[in-house]
């Protein structure tokens, strides 16, 4: 590790003692990163489904944190702060890239549907489900992914996104109905397996 | 009949007794509903399975990107006008000869092009004037707060009674608990400290030192201690502000040279004694000189990038605010 980063680590350490940012109990910003990056990345990937993009946005989040370290308010829980940052980062990214993403997903989903008709093993079915989820309307998709991929309760999702629990339920239900409608052939096959 | 979106969502995650009753009522209505329910349930479970397919991130790659970004943040943007906080401020001029070889245990900052702002690990701030160098030990703050400076710099130091802040050189030292000060080093063996507020100890390592308080200024030249008038204009290279209250034009000429490296030549030496009352804010150094030229009715000629010639003019006018 370079001398330079050591200096930054020392700065982070000092900040902890006197003022924000309090980078947890970590000895350095690097340590802080090490113990938090993976769930930040995970949240980004859950919502975006692109590893390179998720790594880049993960970097952005930590860099921004570093740059704002003197202005940050007191952070009670870094975990929830970072997860919230990642969630909004992903939502914000999608909002900006909406048209491009939508187009790409439409094409992909069609390709997979064609594929799945030939080979029906579970992996492909999950793949198809994955693509259909990625093709859900934005808001609906984010909320559904937070529930299913991040295992968050409706109440947690509502709190994170600052929306009502009713809205969360509404969007989850909506997502399920869309998915079922679009995946009926696959579901039919799945149900046969269950009943056998 | 379909359940509402909200009902469906609640049935799948932590349903209440009421929700379960609703579900059973719905299921009983039609055999088709059971099939639908099974398909929703399957979607619910399968989508959770997708979560385990998230690939592992490359920690090293992510960090190297972050490091590259924050590594470049060694210097910070300098605000157009720095309002020196009431806390404590000192202006210090030190002349330093070569005093230390570069050691790997030090951070070495050089203001190569314009002022360079450096944050120390205790949130103390150092602003180096162009050409200045600062060395900060890697264990700064761990044992003590000592830095080494060559050239001029303004310091804004966080108060820490346990660990006084020390600016060291071969020939001088400045010791403070918490304050801000500017270090200038034009000539060897000469140092000046001007205190805006707060208290500092300024002296030579051989033992002689002096305590300075607010608005005091002291120059140590060899073994001579000379009291001077404190001037906020010595900080104009950073603040961008110059203020004159019936000051001789020669002072403006000196300030432009010191702060901005602009040499002002006058066609007539008599102009040097002209009195100037003015406040320059938000102007570039060139504009300041233009303003002064207009004030005294002189013609301004730029003879080189950093040399300007004031031709003609007289002392009649002298008060202006820019």
In this predicted model, what pLDDT tens digit does every residue of B15-39 receive, in sequence order?
999 999 999 999 999 888 888 898 8
Q: Which chain B residue has the Cα nearest residue A30?
A: B63
Q: Which of B5, B136, B141 sits opposite A173 (nearest CB)?
A: B5
| Strands ordered across the beta sheet of B180-183 | B116-119, B125-128, B153-156, B180-183, B89-93, B190-197, B217-221, B224-227
Has residue B306 got a pLDDT over 50?
A: yes
Percentage of chain A lying above the pLDDT 70 cut? 68
* Phi, psi angles (nearest 5°) of residue B122: -100, 20
Q: Would you call A45 and B55 a contact, using CB atoms and an 8 Å cutoff?
A: yes
**Which range has the top average pLDDT, A77-81, A186-190, B136-140?**
A77-81
ipTM above 0.85, yes or no: no
State pLDDT tens for residues B196-227. 766 778 887 777 888 887 777 888 887 788 88
Q: Would you call B5 and A6 a contact, using CB atoms and an 8 Å cutoff?
A: no
pLDDT of residue B98: 35
pLDDT of residue B83: 30
At the topology level, CATH places domain B74-233 in: Jelly Rolls (2.60.120)
State pLDDT tens for residues A37-58. 888 999 999 888 888 889 999 9
Rounded to the nearest angstrom, the minimum Cα separation between B67 and chain A is 7
pLDDT of residue B134: 85
Q: Give contacts of A 34-73 with B, CB under 8 A.
A: 34, 37-38, 41-42, 45-46, 51, 54-56, 58-59, 62-63, 66-67, 70
State pLDDT tens for residues A43-96. 999 888 888 889 999 999 998 888 787 777 777 788 888 998 999 999 888 887
Decide which of A31 and A23 is more confident: A31
A144 in contact with B, Cβ within 8 Å = yes
pLDDT of residue B85: 30
Q: Which of B4, B38, B66 sits opposite A194 (nearest CB)?
A: B38
Identify which of B55, B51, B43, B41 has the alpha carbon closest to the alpha carbon of residue B12.
B41
At B301, the pLDDT band (50, 70, 90 cuts) reads confident
Of the ranges B109-123, B180-194, B251-265, B283-297, which one carries the lowest mean pLDDT score?
Answer: B180-194
Q: Which of B6, B10, B50 sits opposite A149 (nearest CB)?
A: B50
How close are the terminal C-alpha atoms of chain B, in Å? 78
**Which residues of chain B are within 8 Å of residue A144 when distances are taken between CB atoms?**
47
Cα distances (angstroms) measured from residue A50 to each of A45, A53, A113, B158: 6, 5, 20, 45
Residue B309, token pair as written in the block: 């010639």
**Which residues of chain B are within 8 Å of residue A7 when distances are taken between CB atoms?**
107, 121, 136, 138
pLDDT of residue A189: 62
CB B109 within 8 A of CB B134: yes
pLDDT of residue B139: 77
Has residue B99 got a pLDDT over 80?
A: no
Domain boundaries, chain B: 5-52, 74-233, 240-321
**What value does the CA radius of gyration of chain B take, rounded to a whole number of Å?**
33
pLDDT of residue A41: 92
Q: Would you call B5 and A130 a contact, using CB atoms and an 8 Å cutoff?
A: no
Q: Which of A148, A150, A191 sits opposite B35 (nearest CB)?
A: A191
Q: What is the DSSP letter of B233?
A: G
Q: Which chain B residue has the Cα nearest residue A150?
A: B51
> Which residue has tokens 């859950």?
A46
Domain boundaries, chain A: 3-195
pLDDT of residue A166: 94
Rounded to the nearest angstrom, the minimum Cα separation between A63 and chain B is 6
Mean residue pLDDT of chain B comes to 77
CB B127 within 8 A of CB B234: no
Q: Output the CA torsion B90→B94→B99→B104 (10° steps).
A: 30
The answer regarding whether domain B240-321 maps to CATH 3.20.20.140 reads no
State pLDDT tens for residues A4-18. 444 444 444 444 433
* Phi, psi angles (nearest 5°) of residue B180: -130, 140
Has residue B321 got a pLDDT over 50?
A: no
């Amino acid at each position: 590790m370079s001398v330079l980063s050591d200096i930054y680590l020392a700065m982070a350490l000092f900040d902890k003692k006197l003022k924000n940012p309090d980078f947890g109990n970590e000895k350095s910003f690097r340590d802080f990163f090490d113990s938090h990056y993976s769930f930040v990345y995970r949240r980004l990937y859950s919502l975006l489904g692109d590893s390179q993009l998720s790594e880049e946005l993960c970097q952005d989040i930590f860099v921004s944190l570093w740059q704002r370290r003197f202005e940050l308010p007191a952070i009670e829980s870094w975990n929830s702060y970072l997860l919230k940052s990642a969630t909004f980062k992903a939502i914000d990214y999608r909002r900006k890239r909406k048209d491009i993403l939508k187009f790409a997903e439409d094409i992909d989903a069609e390709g997979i549907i064609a594929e799945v008709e030939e080979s029906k093993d579970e992996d492909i079915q999950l793949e198809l489900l994955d693509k259909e989820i990625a093709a859900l309307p934005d808001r609906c998709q984010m909320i559904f992914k937070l529930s299913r991929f991040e295992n968050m309760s409706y109440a947690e999702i509502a709190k994170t996104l600052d929306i009502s629990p009713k809205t969360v339920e509404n969007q989850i239900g909506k997502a399920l109905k869309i998915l079922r409608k679009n995946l009926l052939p696959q579901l039919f096959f799945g149900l046969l397996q269950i009943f056998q | 009949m379909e359940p509402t979106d909200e009902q469906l969502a609640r049935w799948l995650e932590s349903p209440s007794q009421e929700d379960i009753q609703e579900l059973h009522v719905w299921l009983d209505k039609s055999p088709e509903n059971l099939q639908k329910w099974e398909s929703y349930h399957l979607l619910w479970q399968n989508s959770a399975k997708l979560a385990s397919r998230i690939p592992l991130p490359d920690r090293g790659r992510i960090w190297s990107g972050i490091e590259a970004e924050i590594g470049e943040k060694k210097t910070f943007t300098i605000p157009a006008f720095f309002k020196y906080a009431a806390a404590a401020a000192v202006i210090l001029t030190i002349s330093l000869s070569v005093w230390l070889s570069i050691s790997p245990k030090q951070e070495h900052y050089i203001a190569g092009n314009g002022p360079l702002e450096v944050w120390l690990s205790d949130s103390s701030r150092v602003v180096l004037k162009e050409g200045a160098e600062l060395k900060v030990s890697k264990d700064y703050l761990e044992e003590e707060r000592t830095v080494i400076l060559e050239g001029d710099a303004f310091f804004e130091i966080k108060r820490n009674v346990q660990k006084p802040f020390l600016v060291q050189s071969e020939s001088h030292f400045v010791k403070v608990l918490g304050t801000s000060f500017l270090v200038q080093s034009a000539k060897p063996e000469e140092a000046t400290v001007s205190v805006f507020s707060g208290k500092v100890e300024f002296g030579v390592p051989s033992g002689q030192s002096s305590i300075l308080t607010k608005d005091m200024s002291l120059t140590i030249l060899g073994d001579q201690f000379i009291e001077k008038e404190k001037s906020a204009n010595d900080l104009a290279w950073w603040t961008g502000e110059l203020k004159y209250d019936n000051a001789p034009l020669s002072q403006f000429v000196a300030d432009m040279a010191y702060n901005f490296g602009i040499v002002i030549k006058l066609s007539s030496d008599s102009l040097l004694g002209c009195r100037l009352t003015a406040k320059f804010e938000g102007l570039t150094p060139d504009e300041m000189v233009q303003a002064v030229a207009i004030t005294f009715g002189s013609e301004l000629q730029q003879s080189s990038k950093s040399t300007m010639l004031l031709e003609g003019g007289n002392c009649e006018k002298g008060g202006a605010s820019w």
